[in-house]
Every structure is written in structure tokens, then in C-alpha cells.
Structure 1
């Protein structure tokens, strides 16, 4: 389970460290920084896939996403006071379980003429033991182009001359002396994100798709029917049936297949025929998509839901909260929401943690904290 998340220098987040629980609910008003936290998690997942540099370039480069406030300062009476930026530009992301953690430090490229000026450079990477990247726990260290691994006798060199866009997670995950790299990459690759799934009239989930086993839901929900059928055949038939009945009492899911293509339909009381996916409301389809994401045959290490309540009628919120709470008994779940009823329902679940974000003089902070000293321990390695 992910125990701790650390973000520094990203969008409205100057410095933020939070502990996570089996079920973590992130709340806050519009503009409080919920999306920044969600996007930071996605960037960490991109590190596991070797595409964090490309993702930042697609967002406009480091200048477009870096912390825009002063490097240092104090908040007094709603106004930020501090000096202008004096240190190097840095975007730092870190995550840790109770056994293994990963941290990355990205910065601006060294001054040179290049067609790829939007690409940030990887300045540092650390894989470490425990929940805090303190020097004594570092297992693998990358500083600019040099990488080394801790051994019983000290340090052993992994490489020199690493490209600034190349991650040690990709380059050396199979190295015999650095098994921790494979563990860190596997951790990051085991996360699943579901955000703004399509429910419009042209949504792929509304139309028949090729019937082939699917252990996870596609980002656009195209394989909805296949994911639900795979879950049913994997022994989750009662859970799927309960999810449908909780939201639509007396209804039954149907997954008809014609010519090798499968679609979703819903059989409802007092109707003479099942309603096809193209006839379902946006909210009904959204609920089915979330059900598939939470009950898929694959059990990911972490599921992150961003505003899952979109398009849902208030009557469906309790059923959704029940699905999320049950899923958190099998895998870690983070829910980002501004829906008060959903947050309250989830906050009462066993093992749940609620993190309320707010803006203080333009900076995203955790509500109720007195300052940086009032947050979990995290020591960023120095450049």
C-alpha cells in the first residue's frame, strides 16, 4: 500500500506531503488543488512507463506546470511575502510504501539550442527503503548522468552518461544488482486511473465491441461489456449482480453477443425489453463504467478515481460509495471529489482517510495544518 505521497513545485503545490490510507478521499472547493494532486499521481505513474518527460512536454514543458509563487515566503493576512526565485527550477515527486519508495527531481535543461526545449531533464532519481528518502535508506541513486546502487561494501556503479530524458527505472530495471528498480517500476505500473470516462452519445461503451477477455477497463470505456463478462466468469457474478441491484432495484445486467461483438443492456422491471446501451442515461452508463473499473478481474495496486460522481443522480451516490468501499477492501483506492454526500459516505468507511485541501494565498495546503512542520516527514535529496 502507498503510505506517503510528496509533491514539490507543481502547479499550485509548493510543498505537500500527505499520508494515504486503504481508502483516501481528497476533497476541497473548486480551484483548491485537487486536480494538481491527481495529475501529480499520474505523472508518477508515467515514471513507471518511461514517459514522464513526454507528458510534461505535452503539457507545455516545465515552465507551464511549475510552482508560480515565491521560492520562500510567509503568509500573513492573506498576502504572500517572500523573495523572488533564487534556486534552480525543480519539480519533485515522490511516493513510498512501508518498504520501498521512489523519488524524482526534474529541472530545466542546461542552456543549449535544441528543437526539444519543452523536454525537462531528469536531475535525480532515488529508490529507497522506508517512507522517507533519507540518505541512510537510499538503495539506488541517480544524479544527472551517473547512477549507482548500494551494496554491502558501499556503492557499485550502474552507469555513466545517462541521457537526461532516460529513467533508471527503464534502463536498469532488470539489473541483477538493482532488483529494487524493478520493484519500484512494478509498483508505479500497477496503478489505474479513471477520469472523465465518456458517456456521450458517441461513447464507445454505447456500441458493440469485439468480444475478447478484458481484465481491466480501457481509458475510454470501450471494452465495458467485455470487462463485466470477464469479471463474471472470474467468479464475481454475485458482486456484479449486487452492484446493479443496489443502484437499480430489480434490474439485471445483460451482455448479448452477436457475430463476435458484445454490448451492454439493462433489463428493468415493468419494461418489455432490455434497454440497450445507446438508450441508457449518461448517469446510468457512468455507474456501469465505474462498476467495471472497481470489479474488474485484475486487482491493481491502486485505483484513482477523479470526480466519479459526474453525471450521477443523487440517488446513485450511496450505491457508488458502497462499490468504492468494498473495492478498498481488496486494493487501495484514492477518490478525488468535491461532492459532499459522496465524501461523507466514504469518510465513514472502515480504514478511510479524508484529506481536505484549500488555498492559502494561492498555495494548496491541507486544511487544519499549521505549516510545513505539521506534515509527515519527507527529506528531499539535495542536488
Structure 2
């Protein structure tokens, strides 16, 4: 489980360190920085997947995602730093600008420093992989530092650039951990949504991010997953209703059965809210739960009456995965925070900077960014 997340120099976040639990709820007023927190976490995952440069470009380039406020010290270099700690392994990454070379790509960020260490606190003994721009050294099985003779890309993470089970097994472990994180922002539920179409009839323990295999994912849960939890989640949200999945040749389609209706409704006919809730069920009740779920405003387009059912579904997912929920729905937040395992994280913006409400120095104790 991730114990702490540290972010420095990302959009409205100059510096913030969050302590996490099994279930975490991030709240705050509009514009307080909730979405920036979500995107910063997503950037760590994209780095592990080998999509760091692409993700930064999609967000508008490095100039668009780095700290937008004034520097505390004008001599400090441009820096965007992301990291987390866990009981097993911890990780951090420092992005900055390259040395100017009269190139059109002088504003593309490069990785200045990456560190991977065992346990929560980083020191010389716990460090097991250390990357400085294009050079990398790892301890390996011998416990002695070895320089890695691999040409690293300046714009990619060592997590995706290097893999060796003998010289750097820890890199593989942490990469697989981060790559298992699943992010759900908003599912498309418009008339052309992939979730409204029939699915390919194939075993689907993990639903695609756009929900195009919704029917197959629901059927997989029925056969090898928590079928009882699925039925209960549907009945909590829509009393007396149930779903069934029908296979026609190589495709599957989900149908929604409602009391008093003479025929079942296909996914094409469902309301936006009903379809979105089915997508959330398929995502959160996956037979292969990830290390962490990150949900950004899962309550979007759902009726207020569905908040108790949504909260119960999220709590069920938190039994097998660490969960971070970003929400501004007061009812959902209240229901989740009533759970004794929930860690409330309340953000506020003061003079343009995202800060943790009632934050103190204790939350930052023990965290230190490595020098370049």
C-alpha cells in the first residue's frame, strides 16, 4: 500500500505531501487543485508505462504543467518532482529543462534524477537504483553498485527504459506495481459511446478504459468474480432490477431487466446515469483487483439517490485495493468518510497555491527530495 505521495512543482501544487490509507477521499472547492492531484498521479503511471513524454505533450507541454507561481528562490532550477513511499519500495522522479542547445525542443523536459529505494526513508544503504539524466547504476544481487551500460532516453523513465531481473529486479517490481494502478476519470455515455455497442465475446477480467467490452467484463465477473456483489450493487442502485448478458455468435450484449417492463433494455437504450453506474460496477468489481484505484469524480451524471449505492461499491473495492476518490459531491464524501478506514484529504487554494487544509510539518517528516 502507498503510504505517502509527494508532489512538487506541478501546476498549482508548489509542494504537497499526502499521507494515505486504504480508502482516501480528496475534496475541496472548485479550482482548489483536486484535478491537478489526479493528473500528477496519472503522470507517475504514464512514466512507468513508457508514455511520459507523450503525456506531457498532450497536457500542453512542460510549460503548461510545471508550477505556475513564483519561485521561492529565483536561482532554483525549473523542477517538477513526483514520488511516493511504501513499506516495500519507494520511488521519486525529478523533471527539468535540458541545457539549451538552440533546438526547437529545448522546452521538452528531461529526467534529471530518479531514485528507487527500499522502505520508507531513503538513505545510502536503502537506495537500490539511482539515475542521473542518462546514467544509471543499480545494486543488483551482489549488493554492490554497478553502472548500467544502456543508453537511456533523456525523456523517459528508468522504469520503462531498463529491465533486468538480475541487476535491477526492484525496477521490475515497482514498474509492475505502478502499471497495475487503474485510473477512471469519466466514462463516455453519449449515443456514440463504445459502451453502448456489443462486446467481443472474450474473457475480460479487466474492462477497457472506455468500456467497449462492458458486456464481456460483466459476464466475466458473473463467472469467476463476485457475482453476488454484482447483483447486490445493481439492486442497491436499482431495486428489483438485474442484468443479463447474451452471446450472439462472436459478440456479447448486456440487457437490463426492470420490474414492470415487458422487454429488457439494451445498453443502447439505457439512460446515461444507468450506463455509467454499470461501467463503475464492471470497473470496481474486477476479478483482478489492482494495487490502487484512482477515481476522479465518479458521481458525474449520477442521480443523488445513487450516492449510497456508489459509496457502498467503492467501499467494497477498498477491501481488495487501495482507493483514492476525488470528489466534490458532499453526500458521497460524507458517506465515505463515515467509514473508519477512510482518510479525508481536504485541499484549498491560498493565493493561487494548492495546500492541504490543516496540514502540518508532521506530514512532511522524513521526506527529502534527492539533489540533482
State the shift of 1:113 in Å.
3.4
The equivalent of 2:44 in structure 1 is 44
Which residue in the other structure is 1:169 paired with? Answer: 159
Counterpart residue number, 1:201: 191
- TM-score where L is the length of structure 1: 0.93
| Residue in 2 that maps onto 1:14 | 14
Worse overlay, 317-326 or 348-357: 348-357
- Specify whether residues 374 and 305 from structure 1 end up closer, same or farther in structure 2 by C-alpha distance, changes over 3 A only: closer
- d(CA) in 2 for partners of 1:192 and 1:109? 31
Give me the CA root mean square deviation: 1.7
Matches within 5 A, 1:216-235: 216-235=206-225
**Quick check: 2:254–2:267 contact (8 Å CA) kept in 1?**
yes
Task: Using structure 2 for the length normalisation, give the TM-score.
Answer: 0.95
Aligned pair count reads 371
1:2-43 deviation digits (Å, cap 9, x = unpaired): 111010000000001111111110011110000010001100
Structure 2 portions without partners, runs of 5+: none
Q: Is the 8 A contact 1:103 1:127 kept in 2?
A: yes
Corresponding residue for 2:272? 282
Structure-2 residue corresponding to 1:23: 23
Q: Distance in 2 between matches of 1:190 and 1:292?
A: 16
Q: Distance in 2 between matches of 1:67 and 1:166?
A: 21
How far does residue 269 in structure 1 lie from its aligned partner after superposition?
0.7
CA–CA distance in structure 1, aligned partners of residues 260 and 273 of structure 2? 20
CA contact (8 A) 1:209 1:263 kept: yes
Helix, strand or coil at the partner of 2:340 = coil
Partner of 2:364: 375
Are residues 368 and 119 of structure 1, via their aligned partners in 2, closer, same or farther at CA, if it must alter by over 3 Å?
same
How far the C-alpha of 1:57 sits from its partner, in A, is 2.1
> Within 5 Å, which residues of 2 pair with 1:224-373?
224-370=214-360
Is residue 2:75 matched to residue 1:96? no
Q: Is 1:140 the counterpart of 2:140 in the alignment?
A: no
Task: List runs of 5+ in structure 1 lacking aligned partners.
Answer: 73-82
> Greater CA deviation, 132-141 or 96-105?
132-141
CA contact (8 A) 2:100 2:106 kept: no
Deviation at 1:160, TM superposition (A): 6.6
Maintained 8 Å contact 1:96/1:131: yes
Segment drifting more, 344-353 vs 310-319: 344-353
Distance 2:282 2:30 in 1: 28
Match of 1:75 in 2: none
Deviation, 1:44, is 0.4
Change (3 A) 1:225 1:117: farther
Match of 2:115 in 1: 126
CA distance in 1, matches of 2:46, 2:111: 13
Of stretches 107-116 and 88-97 in structure 1, the one that deviates more from structure 2 is 107-116
Distance 2:113 2:266 in 1: 52
Distance 1:97 1:373, change over 3 A: closer
Partner SS for 1:106 = strand
